[in-house]
Homo-oligomer: A and B are copies of this chain.
Amino acid sequence: MRLLPLLAASVVFASTLPAQEKPAPPIDLGDAQMLRRIYDAALVDSPAFEQLRELTEKFPGRLSGSAAYEGSTKWAEAQLRALGCDRTELQPVMVPHWERGAPERVEFLTAGTRTPLAALALGGSVPTDPAGLTAPVIELPSVEALKNADVKGKIVFFNGAMNPRYVIPGQAYGEAGAQRNRGPAEAAKRGAVGVLVRSLTHALDDLPHTGNTTYLPDAPRIPAAALSTLAANQLSAALRADAELTVTMQINSRWLPDAPSANVIGEIRGSEFPEKVILVGGHLDSWDVSPGAHDDGAGCIQSIEVLRLLKAIGYQPKHTIRCVLFANEENGLRGALEYARIAGDKKENHVLALETDGGGYSARGFNIGNAAGDAHLKAARFKPLFEPYGVFIFQAGRGGADVGPLMAKGNTVAGLIPEAQRYFDIHHTRADTIDKVNKRELELGAAAMAALVYLVDRHGL
């Protein structure tokens, strides 16, 4: 690209605003100016990227129950205190405590040769016998394919790839993800002794992706691991050549008693309706192998940044603006459940609970949900204010995992939609590192969130 300002026709500032129907006060030019101030504060001099660097470098592998997680809660509370919150809190919650132990080992044996495969035990997997589990393998494309397969005494190898046709990778993840989440339990019901799962990513490389698996009370708990996509292809090719090959899996994990932990909370007290809350949040835990830069360090830092931005522009909110960094999203959701339980006990009214857990990429919009199913239509009246910033999507949705329990109690929720093509390349891996995050993309996400919070605070939803 040359020096010609190719894209110069884009607008930095919305100079005209459409007429709006209802709420008092009306959306006006002041709102456009406030959004511009929010974006300026985010883009010009934000500490967010360096905060995320510090979080990921000081507290990688923040899995529930770990020392890294506990350290990150104190660090995050200090950040919230430093920006001038009226109140901060470490809200206690008991969390599951699973540990990977010594690195897992997966290899296949064919024609007298052992070949190691890049693998990671799934989160929550039971260990194998210390000597390992050796069994023949059956490859299946999905959980549904178990119906017509004889898996007794075998290791089931779920090798369904994420469907590339979905434009939004999260849809392909949701679909293929059944193999990881339900696959081991369903295979165990039918007599399988272990499970291998193709990593949930469009990328073809040697990076295994972990993630949670859910056992069922009425089925045996069998060991389960994810293979990198290249390892999955390699095993599949080997099976075509030798259907009788065996795989040896060795997993050294253990389950410990539930551990005391905490959600991290910081808030700016509302000037008119302090009892009404607009929540912004993400989850502070990450997988044990991952620094959790995009998942969901970025979301936590953006949520902290929303509060900083409102203060930086000198805005005094009418409602209480609360940042919640949830514990235990990855393997239990206990933080979100406990937060919603306490909020219910206190009869707190959440005007909006906005979650960000899709990666710290450029913001493209919001999914918004309420019981009546019309919240996204109401929010769409803000759309012209967002378009100069490249934020176009206001669609119905369920916000995200951590605001799910609040939605179940009748609150309105939302989720930031980032430009997410790169997210599953590094999701739940050791490669989810700070160098994958672009400073301005992180800032643009935080600014979009702060803008929505400001507009809902002023105009309601």
Contact = CB atoms under 8 A, between A and B. Distances in A.
A420 to B, nearest CB: 7
B440 A421 contact: yes
Interface stretch (A218-226, A253-261, A390-398): A390-398
Interface stretch (A39-47, A189-197, A451-459): A39-47
Copies of this chain in its oligomeric complex:
2
A329 interface: yes
Interface stretch (A23-31, A103-111, A172-180): A172-180
A330 interface: yes
A205 to B, nearest CB: 11
A397 B9 contact: yes
B441 A7 contact: no
Contacts of A169: 440
Contacts of A439: 202-203
A145 interface: no
Contacts of A102: none
A3 B43 contact: no
B401 A357 contact: no
A367 B5 CA distance: 12
Contacts of A359: 1
Interface stretch (A125-133, A160-168, A310-318, A337-345): A160-168
A401 B1 contact: yes
Task: Tell me which of A10, A392, A398, A441 has the highest count of chain B C-beta atoms within 10 A of its own C-beta.
Answer: A10
A7 B397 contact: yes
A372 interface: no
A388 B171 CA distance: 13
A12 B171 contact: yes
Interface string A417-456: 1011111010100000000001111001000000000000
A3 B440 contact: no
A181 interface: yes
Task: Tell me which of A6, A203, A329 has the highest count of chain B C-beta atoms within 10 A of its own C-beta.
Answer: A6
A305 interface: no
Nearest to A367: B9
A392 B386 CA distance: 13
B358 A398 contact: no
A2 interface: yes
A441 to B, nearest CB: 5
Contacts of A367: 6-7, 9
Interface string A320-364: 000000000110010000000000000000000000011100101
Task: Tell me which of A12, A40, A357, A359 has the highest count of chain B C-beta atoms within 10 A of its own C-beta.
Answer: A12
Contacts of A400: 1, 4, 6
A139 interface: no
Given A2-B330, A6-B415, A10-B417, 10 more contacts: A1-B358, A1-B359, A1-B423, A2-B333, A2-B401, A6-B170, A10-B171, A43-B167, A44-B164, A421-B444
20 contacts: A1-B359, A1-B401, A2-B329, A2-B330, A3-B177, A3-B211, A4-B398, A4-B401, A5-B171, A6-B358, A7-B358, A7-B415, A8-B170, A9-B395, A39-B165, A43-B167, A167-B390, A362-B419, A392-B393, A425-B438
